[in-house]
Amino acid sequence: MTTNREELIVEFKEHLIKYLNLLDLTPADIQNDVPLFGEELGLDSIDSVELIVLLDREYGIKIKNPTEGRQILVDVNTIVDYIIANRTK
Amino acid sequence: MYIKDLYAISPQKTHDLSFENGEWQVLNEYIYKAVEPSYQDLIPNAQLRRMGKAVRMGIGVSLPLLGRNPKPDGIIFGTANGGLEDCIKFLNQIVEYNEGTLTPTNFVQSTPNALAGQVALLSENQGYNMTHVNGSLAFESALLDASLYFDNYHGEEKNLLVGAVEEISDYNYNIDRLGERFKEELVSNVDLLGSGTKGSYCGEGSTQFYLSNNPDNSLAEFKAFKQSSYLSENEIGEFVKSFLDEQKLDTAAIDCLLLGKNGDVSTDSWYEQVEQLFSGKPKVYFKKSVGEYRTVSAFASYLAVRLLNGQAGYLIENGATEKPRTVLIYNHFDAVRHSLILLQK
């Protein structure tokens, strides 16, 4: 299990690319503080469900509250911070 | 039903008309994969990254047709398996994650009607939308549906986008290979029909037609079609003759025969029986170009329209007729499901 934050960021981005089929991107292309659901990556509501599945499968985190989800799924930084605080695996 | 426009993605270079103009791909593969165009200018990236191959090919064929023709009144597709690769991924996830949290994309993309739905969404088409999944007669069922649709509108012009799609997935290829549908040994498609062994080679592709009940400026007409399951081999000749009788035609009226002969020694004899009825007629063995798959009759229809318009004449064997006026397609799958399609210019 990766505990170093920087390593976790890279690992999360690799999962993000795989789960969301962002195959023309590398982890370096995804900025940590750019909103995932803005124009940069152009993610949509289906992607948000894919992200919830990613967090469940890879880190044992279940997001059930939509309000909570909106605060977590903002950018790479907010998600990785949440993973560090809440991961069960 | 009149064909106003058509487009295909297939194991040959049909997407840029190289195939029609004489560039024939020699295939030395177990799997005849479709030659796909670049979709970047056609499909938004956010949607393209989610699409399985069947949906991608289907939309890749649909959007160019929709872009150069008026909005159709309906969309009717046929597919035996739809996005099977995504379907299997989804089913495996159900097992792997113990029926827990599942990703929506594989599910959304894998339903057979995902293609027709996405084409409608992308083109903002709220008309009739139907997907037929009748196995190896799925395309024929789509044609029948289109014909019934047009029957409701005598005197009122209606247009439909009608077609078929099939993708090769590892799963269905392996199952079909175990069922001896595909050859264990490798033979070039040049020599496919003389291979002398069981099975054929697996192909894939998407073919679509812009159909109208208005004959003006049409490329050809789907004059008639007929399907049957569970014929016996000694009934196939009568099946063909009765079809021609219904159209008030005899064998002499057919200028060119398109046969689904696929190099499988266990079932090619059916085609040979039909060939005997049309002894000496020009013919095209279309599976040498694209292999075997369950909606391959859509590709055969595509090729027939090209032939009727003086294209791809190099594919006609033992024929002097480079531009036929009446073409008959006979295809069967597993010698169980049989179809006849008659096209005229």
**CATH code at position B86:** 3.40.47.10
CA distance A76 to A69: 13
Q: What is the pLDDT of residue B341?
A: 98
Specify whether the CB–CB gap between A20 and A50 falls below 8 A. Answer: yes
Interface of chain B toward chain A, CB-CB under 8 angstroms = 45-46, 49-50, 97, 100-105, 108
Instruction: Quote the tokens at residue A47.
Output: 């992607």
Q: Which residue among B45, B100, B104 sits closest to A49, beta carbon to beta carbon?
A: B104
Q: Is the pTM of this model over 0.90?
A: yes
Q: What is the pLDDT of residue A42?
A: 80
Specify whether the CB–CB gap between A20 and A65 falls below 8 A. Answer: no
Q: What H or E segment, with its residue span, contains residue B342?
A: strand B337-344
The band of A1, judged by pLDDT with boundaries at 50, 70 and 90, is: confident
* ipTM score assigned to the predicted complex: 0.76
Range of the domain at A40: 5-86
CA distance B311 to B233: 33
Distance from CA of B311 to the nearest CA of A (A): 38
Q: CA nearest B200: which of B131, B306, B289? A: B289
Q: What is the pLDDT of residue B321?
A: 59
**Average pLDDT for runs of 10 along chain B of length 345:** 98 96 95 95 85 94 96 97 89 87 82 92 96 96 98 95 95 89 95 94 98 97 96 95 97 96 96 94 96 97 97 86 88 96 97
Nearby residues of B274 by Cβ (< 8 Å), 6 or more positions away: B236, B237, B240, B257, B259, B330
Range of the domain at B155: 2-344
Report how many domains make up chain A. 1
Q: Which residue has the higher pLDDT, A38 or B24?
A: B24
Does the CA dihedral B156-B159-B164-B165 come out positive or negative?
A: negative
Instruction: Quote the tokens at residue B344.
Output: 């005229």
Q: Which residue among A42, A43, A53 sits closest to B103, beta carbon to beta carbon?
A: A53
Interface contact A21-B50, CB threshold 8 A: yes
What's A60's domain CATH number? 1.10.1200.10
